[in-house]
Chain A
């Protein structure tokens, strides 16, 4: 700690503290103009000039960017300090006499008329005073860097590159927000919203949070979703070897630092005007080692968490391999999640003897077989060899392996991680019943983007009863559907959260952000809406989609079934790897004494209990949603939502026992 005397107060501060911050902590006011807490201090405007005495020498310095490194005496209102400040303000007042912030600061220093006349006097009350807050906010706060200064001296101006309109500008409005004079104004949107200012105010809440909070929260700008690899491993949720396990001692080899050091872009994805999340990540100058682009240096978009989690799911812990797989999936138009999950299934089939070299065209495909797995991806793209089999996905492979190789259908159904024909995304759901429902009931198939409830359910224990889980499995799928209805991204909803979110009644819903979305709708349409109105919008669409699924042969209870691997341990190896957890559950919750029982017996008892709970969960969710026990929206529900007038809908529901 260093002793510093500011005016008549002596205090101790940490080395490196700026004079402005030290003064603030002592309750001493130093005027500032270009200084703000969330940017590196610049000392551009010199309004914060103070006089310091150090080692017998006197000096006028800018208080905002002068770090205290040794014992120091500061005089904030000495003659020299005030004379400097007055001269600065006089010059500003001479040039921009009508700008309020300049007039206020001048008045504070007792200046009414400047001594000088400025050749470029500007009477505009909203003139740019070149404080640079917009330039620094764009660069340091929003990470966009499209504003800069042009020219020197009196001809200095704030411009975008080449004095044009930079297409990289995301229109977040942060520059207009920090501008102290109103020199930067947002243009009205060509979509002619009812109240553009209201939309901007709502958007600015998230823009500010990203700037101020993201580094401490989800690091969406620095690491993106890749930061989840090590976190999921810690919580036993990272899929390893086709979801057998939720963590691995090798996970550190593919944790986010390996990706972050490669990421070079960290820019806005360009999908939404105004967003400053900078979620786009690229691995630039990456050298490809296989396939048609071998030897080329390319830019790879990503990887995201799911791609890394899918890699561990194949028992591969090599970030370079993951990036190359990411590249070829993008290149070939293959979804990384589906590829990873189907390959994990193939590998388990290989290890179980369902597949062998003869059946894979000579490829050895146990877990961890990185080179062979990449070759299957190339074969899928070329439409040849084993790629023709694997490329059909888990659901069809199960049928083929039973029909062609006489494989045990029960085993394949247990380990084939798909629902409604879609491969699972990369989370281990065994310990979260609500999340099992989140995957199983999802309309599009096994995706977590309708509801990601694992923390609420498994870790926080916030939704213990079936009714609690059913409520969560109603609200969150409806809420997330709403983003789809609006064409909005959900990341700004809960990948950055207000600092006081935990104090709200329902933190998981992030109520302040939901209110912001209501402002967005009202600002766009001119109609006031409540959070309940937004959910209602989704309920109409969601129920219609479910009925559409029914029409297409996917909308009943049987289609919401899940592979047992997502609900519990299929094999003895899995059980034994978490034996303490499962034994405890059997003893405490299943009323089954595990002592002296074989692993197979314990597996069977656990399975009966877990499968029964899943059925009870379906009952609770269907009831909450106004569906029949077979998972079909009733006519009453359709009428209440106003979707019963569709052609053929009444007949379809009647034919499926949902006429009530």
Chain B
């Protein structure tokens, strides 16, 4: 039971939302775009979008800063 998050395995559990996954990964940076199996997930839907076992999640952090 695992997801692939940015190319690395991450444990999957039933009921895992994208927002919860971001917390588990400590991906707290706000300027990021999330793709699940290649499809972009709208920011507003991240609290409610459930992940499935085997999903490939790409969390693209955009650069900012000095």
**Which A positions have Cβ atoms within 8 angstroms of B?**
216-219, 225, 228, 230-231, 234-235, 304-306, 425, 448-449, 452-453, 455-456, 459-462, 490, 494-495, 497, 501-503, 507-508, 510
Decide: A459 and B62 in contact? CB cutoff 8 A. no
Decide: B28 and A230 in contact? CB cutoff 8 A. yes
Please report the C-alpha to C-alpha distance between residue A235 and residue B63 in the assembled complex, in whole angstroms: 14
9 further contact pairs, Cβ within 8 A, besides A217-B30, A460-B60, A495-B64 = A225-B65, A225-B66, A231-B28, A234-B29, A306-B66, A456-B63, A494-B64, A503-B40, A510-B62
Q: Which of B8, B28, B29 has the most CB of A within 10 A?
A: B29
Q: Which of B28, B30, B59, B61 has the most CB of A within 10 A?
A: B61
Decide: B6 and A459 in contact? CB cutoff 8 A. yes
- Taking CB as reference atom, which chain B residue is nearest A453? B63
Closest beta carbon of chain B to A377's beta carbon, Å: 22
Contact A459-B66, Cβ < 8 Å, known A218-B30, A231-B29, A235-B26: no
Contact A455-B6, Cβ < 8 Å, known A216-B30, A234-B28, A502-B33: no
Please report the C-alpha to C-alpha distance between residue A230 and residue B43 in the assembled complex, in whole angstroms: 21
Count of interface residues, chain B, beta-carbon cutoff 8 Å: 21
Closest beta carbon of chain A to B50's beta carbon, Å: 21
Closest beta carbon of chain A to B28's beta carbon, Å: 5
Closest beta carbon of chain A to B53's beta carbon, Å: 21
Chain A residues positioned under 8 Å from B27 (CB to CB): 234, 459
- The listed residue (B33, B43, B62, B65) touching A305 by CB distance below 8 A is B65
Please report the C-alpha to C-alpha distance between residue A219 and residue B26 in the assembled complex, in whole angstroms: 19
Chain B residues positioned under 8 Å from A460 (CB to CB): 6, 58-61
- Taking CB as reference atom, which chain A residue is nearest B60? A460
Decide: A228 and B65 in contact? CB cutoff 8 A. yes
Chain A residues positioned under 8 Å from B29 (CB to CB): 231, 234-235, 455
- Taking CB as reference atom, which chain A residue is nearest B61? A455
Instruction: Confirm or deny: B38 has a beta carbon within 8 angstroms of a beta carbon on chain A.
Output: no
Proximity string of chain B (28-62) to chain A, C-beta cutoff 8 Å, 1 when within and 0 when not:
11110100000010010000000000000011111
Q: Which of A231, A449, A452, A508 has the most CB of B within 10 A?
A: A231
Chain B residues positioned under 8 Å from A304 (CB to CB): 66
Chain A residues positioned under 8 Å from B28 (CB to CB): 230-231, 234-235
Chain B residues positioned under 8 Å from A508 (CB to CB): 62-63
Decide: A218 and B64 in contact? CB cutoff 8 A. yes
Decide: A455 and B66 in contact? CB cutoff 8 A. no
Please report the C-alpha to C-alpha distance between residue A503 and residue B40 in the assembled complex, in whole angstroms: 9
- The listed residue (B7, B30, B62) touching A502 by CB distance below 8 A is B62
Sample 22 A-B pairs with CB under 8 A, ordered by A number: A218-B31, A225-B66, A228-B65, A234-B28, A235-B26, A235-B28, A304-B66, A449-B66, A452-B63, A452-B65, A455-B29, A459-B6, A461-B6, A461-B7, A494-B63, A494-B64, A495-B65, A497-B31, A497-B62, A501-B33, A507-B33, A508-B62
Chain B residues positioned under 8 Å from A217 (CB to CB): 30-31, 64
Decide: B65 and A462 in contact? CB cutoff 8 A. no
- Taking CB as reference atom, which chain B residue is nearest A215? B30
- Taking CB as reference atom, which chain A residue is nearest B28? A234
Please report the C-alpha to C-alpha distance between residue A221 and residue B40 in the assembled complex, in whole angstroms: 28
Decide: A507 and B64 in contact? CB cutoff 8 A. no
Please report the C-alpha to C-alpha distance between residue A503 and residue B35 in the assembled complex, in whole angstroms: 11
Decide: B66 and A494 in contact? CB cutoff 8 A. no
- The listed residue (A448, A459, A507) touching B59 by CB distance below 8 A is A459
- Taking CB as reference atom, which chain A residue is nearest B23? A234
Chain A residues positioned under 8 Å from B63 (CB to CB): 452-453, 455-456, 494, 508
Closest beta carbon of chain B to A480's beta carbon, Å: 10
